[in-house]
Amino acid sequence: MCTGRVDLEHVLRAFSKGVDGVFIGACHLNECNYITHGNYHALTMVNICKKIMENIGLNPERLRIRFMSGAEASLFVESVNEFVKTVKEIGPLGKVEGINKNALKAKLEAVTQLVPYIRLVERERLRLPFKSEEEYNNFFTSDEFNKLFNELIVEKLAISQITSLLRERPLSAGKISEYLGLAPSEVSRYMNTSSRQGLVRYDEGRNCFALA
């Protein structure tokens, strides 16, 4: 199967099921068997996913992509063993990062709900003309990418996390801040935006927020 078929949703599903790390093995760049350059699409997906993981408080080293050919069995074994060692050193998903089970579930559900939107953003704004791993890595660690990520994804991701939490039960702004690790001022801003969009409402009797 072409690595280009590996979707962001596949990675999120693995983490949602409690997997501590995800390893993706791809063909060498510029050596695509299907002439689709699917391995570049996979590299883009991995870089975006790592940024999202960092944003929601997960260690991005839990996701890794390595490029190799079918004839490089020793490289595959070496790469997987190294990754397994790294993941074991990091520790259990969520627990090490200080994210409780309910908050982790809400965060991963929130990202999953945004996958169609993220695919659109990737296709329209983040699909690159570069043809080397170095150029890709330079872009995805650049101020330009950070600006685009903040502009296109951060607010939608935060609001999606909030609505995912509220789907379970109404919560105060303080509890939302605690669960998601957001500053109270950020929660206030996102709640105002969510209220204007008709997504949430404030229950004065219970002094908390609920889905509209």
Residue 30 has pLDDT above 80, yes or no: yes
- Alpha-carbon gap, residue 151 to 10, rounded angstroms: 25
Q: What's the pLDDT band for 174 if we cut at 50, 70, 90?
A: very high
Closest by CA position to 110, among listed 168, 188, 23: 168
Q: Where are the extended beta strands (E) located within 14-171?
A: 22-26, 63-67
pLDDT (0 to 100) of residue 132:
85
- Alpha-carbon gap, residue 186 to 189, rounded angstroms: 5
Extract the tokens encoding 59: 């260690």
Residue 16 has pLDDT above 90, yes or no: yes
Q: Which residues contact 122 (CB under 8 A, 6 or more apart)?
A: 44, 45, 48
Q: What's the pLDDT band for 127 if we cut at 50, 70, 90?
A: confident
**Mean pLDDT across 30-47:** 85
Determine what percent of the chain is predicted with pLDDT higher than 90: 63
Give this prediction's pTM.
0.89
**Mean pLDDT across 171-192:** 89
Extract the tokens encoding 19: 């997997």
Residue 131 has pLDDT above 80, yes or no: no
Mean pLDDT, the chain, rounded, equals 91
Residue 1 has pLDDT above 80, yes or no: no
